[in-house]
Structure 1
Amino acid sequence: MPDVQGLRLGTFAGMPALLLEAQGARAAIAVHGGHLLSWAPDGHEDVLWLSPALAPAPAAIRGGVPVIWPYFGRQGQGDDVPSHGFARTVRWQVASARRDADGSLRLTLAPPALDGLPLTLRMELHVGATLEQRLVTTNTGDAPVVFTQALHSYFRVSDVHRVRVQGLDGLRFLDKNDGYAEHPQRGDWQLDDARDPGRSDYIYRDAPGRYVLDDAGLDRRIELVTGGSRSLVVWNPGEASAERSSDMGHGAWRGFLCLEAANAGPDRIALAPGATHTLMQQVRVLPRD
């Protein structure tokens, strides 16, 4: 562990974690999966949701910000690999840490290299009143590699039925629950869309990179800005699917909405030898006018 003011090793939700006390916010990052578990700006409750029924390691953590890499779901893979890749179920290491002059904290973490995969990954975090998270992938091989990925953020909400997502009007999305058929988005996203009410598993294409999650119940808006991506995944399983998940908790699905900065579906990254790609998200809490 680097000796940096405001950074220590402890536990969060029963898991070994890096605990951060930065100017403007607190955060926690699990060693398992390099998983951002919590980010709470001063004056606000936690922006991220964690399941009340977490499965023990080595299972993936339900909630926070899972690192989905080097493939999304099982896209381009066979059925004999873990869903959403390997990065979220291995032990990560801290590569560097520092405290900036303004009191914010910067960390770089990395998972171990995977045999037979000519890609390396590191995650860069900047924790303060604004959260910035980057996945940096480098092709160390001698041939191009195609991969998919996501920052699978579970945002805490008062009630998923009462929130709206702005910034999607006029886009087109692929609906997993409809065989990935394409549909137009009209107006803000809401869970109770008349076409497919009560659930959402959409990949928005050619997305602009700025979205606002408006939550009247918590009297706040969460701004999400993304980069290195042309897709946004909006996911909530709905009641029927959630109740079949052993690691979600009864009724807990109402308390989150996933907005995922992603390269998924047709948005794939073809990385040349020696090249690097960065997927980025920036999150901040805005007042509700």
Structure 2
Amino acid sequence: MLAVPGVAFGTFQGLEAVLVETAHASAAVALFGGQVLSYVPRGGQDVFWLSPLRAALPTPVRGGIPVCWPYFGRQGQGEGVPSHGFVRTLPWRLVEARAEDEGVTVVLEPPALQGLDLRVRSEVHVGRQLRQRLVTTNTGGAPVVFTEALHNYFRVADVEAVRVEGLDGLTYLDKNDGYRAYTQQGDWILADPRDPGRSDRTYPGAGGRYRLVDPGLGRAIELQVQGGRSAVVWNPGEAAAARMADVGPYWRGFLCVEAANAGPDVVALDPGRQHVLEQRITVTPLP
């Protein structure tokens, strides 16, 4: 697999990773959690934020693209399980690397989870776009219901100065208000008059096309999603971040816009079938 030009094992900010270098971009995917850590378009800046307050493993890594699977948050679970599923703290392995579409695709898998008739793999394509496919297979004899997310931590100059297009008019469930339903008025901004300074919103049945506009970095991040009916937009805000050991004063530097199936958008997967959650991330300069 490592005979593919541009693919190597190495480290990224102290984490063992698959390193990918192409004509159009570079990237790093951690073996811990199968988590994309970095994607840098050629001549640009990193698309993702990684916390400088990272704790020792196996504490989950805050930043990049955590894989939340086979549940989002603790949806449908008890309190005694880790938030956002099991695979984000498991060792993943590289199972395939291939050159294609003017870039390179790497495929990683975690070990099978005992007692769960689902398997998952992540396919990450590094090129002009960052493309990621989270492929879930039902290997058992009965339908299985699950939730999931690709939990993007997008790097921004100042979260209070960015906006997210593509959500206007949608209903969202506000975790900060007991999951009550509200309607998005205009583009998402952190200074939303209804509850300014923080955001933990799930948009069921969202459209799958979102644009994060960041004047401070002079760029827009376009997110296109297939197979994910929900969008999640999260930043804890200053007060909550101060209580988080791995965020603290760095809360301004990121915004999570997540491709998900969560809330009412659960996935029911029949035996022998696959479900694909796919996202495509493109960076464009602002005029």
Give 2:37's aligned residue.
37
Give 1:23's aligned residue.
23
Give 2:259's aligned residue.
261
Counterpart secondary structure, 2:238? helix
Moved over 6 A (4+): none
Following the alignment from structure 1 to structure 2, what is the Cα–Cα distance between the partners of residues 218 and 101? 28
Report how far residue 5 of structure 1 moved.
0.9
Seen in structure 2, the aligned counterparts of structure 1 residues 101 and 255 have a Cα distance that, compared at 3 Å, is closer
Following the alignment from structure 1 to structure 2, what is the Cα–Cα distance between the partners of residues 177 and 4? 46
Spell out, residue by residue over 1:160-194, the C-alpha distance to the aligned partner (whole angstroms, 9 max, x if none): 00000001111010000000000000110000101
Report how far residue 100 of structure 1 moved.
2.5
Give 2:6's aligned residue.
6
Following the alignment from structure 1 to structure 2, what is the Cα–Cα distance between the partners of residues 128 and 76? 37
Name stretches of at least 5 consecutive residues in structure 1 with no aligned partner.
none
Spell out, residue by residue over 1:42-95, the C-alpha distance to the aligned partner (whole angstroms, 9 max, x if none): 121000000000111111100000000000011001111111001100000111
Following the alignment from structure 2 to structure 1, what is the Cα–Cα distance between the partners of residues 32 and 5? 23
Report how far residue 4 of structure 1 moved.
1.5
> Does residue 285 of the first structure (1) align with residue 283 of the second (2)?
yes
Following the alignment from structure 1 to structure 2, what is the Cα–Cα distance between the partners of residues 75 and 225? 24
Q: How many residues align?
A: 287
5 Å matches for 1:174-193? Answer: 174-193=173-192
Give 1:213's aligned residue.
212
Contact 2:204 2:262 in 1 (8 A): no
Following the alignment from structure 1 to structure 2, what is the Cα–Cα distance between the partners of residues 237 and 101? 37
Counterpart secondary structure, 2:32? coil
Normalising by structure 1, what TM-score?
0.98
5 Å matches for 1:97-176? Answer: 97-100=97-100, 102=102, 104-176=103-175
Report how far residue 2 of structure 1 moved.
2.8
* Aligned amino acid, residue 105 of structure 1: V
Following the alignment from structure 1 to structure 2, what is the Cα–Cα distance between the partners of residues 216 and 9? 35
Counterpart secondary structure, 1:65? coil
Give 1:96's aligned residue.
96
Give 2:65's aligned residue.
65
* Aligned amino acid, residue 22 of structure 1: T
Following the alignment from structure 1 to structure 2, what is the Cα–Cα distance between the partners of residues 204 and 129? 28
Give 2:229's aligned residue.
230
Following the alignment from structure 1 to structure 2, what is the Cα–Cα distance between the partners of residues 232 and 224? 10
- Indicate the larger mover: 6-15 or 149-158: 6-15
Report how far residue 101 of structure 1 moved.
6.3
Spell out, residue by residue over 1:83-134, the C-alpha distance to the aligned partner (whole angstroms, 9 max, x if none): 10011000001110012362x1111110000100000001111101201001
Following the alignment from structure 2 to structure 1, what is the Cα–Cα distance between the partners of residues 266 and 147? 5
Following the alignment from structure 1 to structure 2, what is the Cα–Cα distance between the partners of residues 29 and 166? 28
* Aligned amino acid, residue 31 of structure 2: V
Following the alignment from structure 2 to structure 1, what is the Cα–Cα distance between the partners of residues 234 and 250? 14
* Aligned amino acid, residue 284 of structure 1: T
Counterpart secondary structure, 2:151? strand
Following the alignment from structure 2 to structure 1, what is the Cα–Cα distance between the partners of residues 265 and 204? 8
Q: Percent identity?
A: 59
Contact 2:149 2:260 in 1 (8 A): yes
Counterpart secondary structure, 2:152? strand
Which one of the candidate residues 259, 263, 270 is aligned to 1:272?
A: 270
* Aligned amino acid, residue 59 of structure 2: A
Contact 2:160 2:191 in 1 (8 A): yes
- Indicate the larger mover: 16-25 or 33-42: 16-25
Following the alignment from structure 2 to structure 1, what is the Cα–Cα distance between the partners of residues 50 and 161? 19
